[in-house]
Amino acid sequence: MSLIKTQKEVEVMAEGGKILAEVLGEIEKMAKPGITTLELDRASEALILKRGAKPAFKGYEKFPYSLCASVNDVIVHGFPSNYRLKSGDVVGLDLGVLWKGYNTDMAVTVAVGEVSFEAKRLLQVTKKALRLGIKKARAGITTGDLGNTIQKYIEDQGYGVVRDLCGHGIGKEIHEDPQIPNYGQRHKGVELKEGMVICIEPMVTLGDFRLKEAKDGYGFATRDGKISAHFEHTIAITRDGCKVLTE
């Protein structure tokens, strides 16, 4: 499968990305104390279908839901459940849309009600790490250059960078080459080229970056039980730098 997308393919993915950003924006507003993550999942699916698209994650590698809802120490791939969000929680909302045969992928981490200062700062740093990664991304750099930029900023702020999981290429499949780690050495890895569409998704921990299997048997949680954060955008590498497709 070619890693390079045509301009028409990128345009279709931008259409899907706009749908995804609209839906996730609505779900983010719903993530208040008292709602269950299963209710957020059902709302996500309904909003996607209402727009004529399909949930990209449902059925992917036996995942039975549309939304990944990862609470507190769960960093990604958390199962929606009857757990009711409470003030002080942070919840990662990771959602994908399939539109005209192409996938887009996006994630945000939401502070539920009143959260601690350290939780607020973790979310701010992770979100900025994503912005720095997007600013860095352009044709001619390597995945190592990109990962190094993200890693250096996060570790300078005193947080951990997850090694076991990474960003990825995307298109007709949810996960395509190349892998996009959030750490790395400059000038190492795969060279980014015009026409590539990738997902940049910093996954950041308050403590140790090492992970373990989450209690649901599917997701990944921090080994030390401390909270984590995850933000993600789908971007296209263009002649002029990059274009965020999920906004």
Q: What is the pLDDT of residue 1?
A: 54
Read off the pLDDT of residues 161-199 as tens digits, 9 standing for 90 and up: 999 999 999 999 999 999 999 999 999 999 999 999 999
d(CA 4, CA 237): 9
Say which DSSP state 74 is in. Answer: E
Q: What is the pLDDT of residue 151?
A: 98
Closest CA to 158 of 194, 121, 189: 121
Plot region of 34 (φ>0 → left; ψ -120 to 50 → alpha; else → beta): left
Collect the ranges in the chain with pLDDT lower than 50.
Answer: none
- With beta carbons less than 8 A apart as the criterion, state whether 192 and 137 touch: yes
d(CA 208, CA 7): 41
Domain map (residue ranges) of the chain: 7-244
d(CA 177, CA 193): 12
Q: Which fold has domain 7-244?
A: Creatine Amidinohydrolase (3.90.230)
Q: What is the pLDDT of residue 117?
A: 98
